[in-house]
Amino acid sequence: MLQTKGYAVQDAASGFASFDFERRDLGANDVLIEIQFCGVCHSDIHQARDEWGGSIYPMVPGHEIVGRVARTGADVSKFKEGDFAGVGCFVDSCGDCENCRQDVEQFCLVHCSQTYNSTEMDKKTPTFGGYSSQIVVDENYALKISDTENLAAVAPLLCAGITTYSPLRRFNVREGQKVGIVGLGGLGHMGVKLAASMGAEVTVFSTSPSKEQDAKNLGAHNFVVSKEPENMKPLKGKFDFILDCVSANHDLAVYLNLLKFNGAMVLVGAPEKPAEVNAFSLISNNRTLAGSGIGGIAETQEMLDYCAEKGITSDIEIIQIQDIEKAYERTIKSDVRYRFVINMQSLGQV
């Protein structure tokens, strides 16, 4: 077993503290990645504090992992020692069910082993995430990282990037379309960059007027303060696609009514309370309301390659692991532009 240093919470109310644990020895198909950076996702907060229920403790969060391959198993062909690699939201699946065979392993019908707060495929052994010094993963669930100039800014692509890229691709967002991005946070700012890179005319909807210049700098063409109803009226029926990135409770009908004929709105935020949807908001103009999660390994690799080609990374603030509690509180207050990333070398200073 491989002795590993991590940072963990022991229960929903505890703070973070140093936590030593064991990773499995390398199997023939495994790679050992020395973690250099790990992004901080809002879902880390929800799960560390058991806000979604069912949290497994002790918990080492983190599923936006980038680092360098330190060792490889005997049969590994995808990576060699010294390569840069990433790990996203899951680390294993059955590989043989209908969904796995369609490259959507995140929806494995047997068991998708999440990177943390989950179990290995035996459904017993807990998984520990990227707030740690190293991780062992089957090469088929690791991602190749080609953009190494700003490795820290690549880390959030492993969740925020694929979460926004996947629905944009699914609904074929393209040049000439009008696309709305609701909420300019960790997810929303990636949605703006990606939609703009695909040639769409991008409008950001935000309750914060102070974010207008940020939105324009990220590639948005228009900015609307959504809490002012008079700003929304002229936009009714104007949009081909809307990506809703808000995790707070809000009225979906306000945005559904902005869709034109056959327009679609996709939810990637996860509010705590269920939303009410007026059927006529969908019936009118033949609109679609959909949800989207992350992508499978193939699509995630496609996204990383696309972002490397287009020069797209996340806007980040680098922190030390000792500052994670402050980062959580600032994330809740939307006081980050736009994603925290932990320098995991700081773990050696704990």
CB of 245 closer than 8 Å to CB of 267: no
d(CA 217, CA 203): 13
Cα angle vertex 139, ends 194, 162, to 5°?
15
What is the pLDDT at residue 148?
Answer: 73
What tens digit of pLDDT does each residue of 80-134 get?
A: 999 999 999 999 999 999 999 999 999 999 999 999 999 999 999 999 999 999 9
Q: Structural domains in the chain?
A: 2-159+315-349 (3.90.180.10), 161-291 (3.40.50.720)
The neighbouring-strand residues paired with 73 are none
What is the pLDDT at residue 273?
Answer: 81
What is the pLDDT at residue 149?
Answer: 76
Mean pLDDT by 10 residues, the chain (350 residues): 96 95 97 98 94 94 98 97 97 98 97 97 96 98 88 97 98 97 95 98 95 96 93 95 92 94 95 85 94 96 96 97 96 91 89
How remote is the C-alpha of 20 from its chain's centroid?
26
CB of 55 closer than 8 Å to CB of 48: yes
Query: CB atoms < 10 A from the CB of 99, how many?
Result: 18
What is the pLDDT at residue 350?
Answer: 65
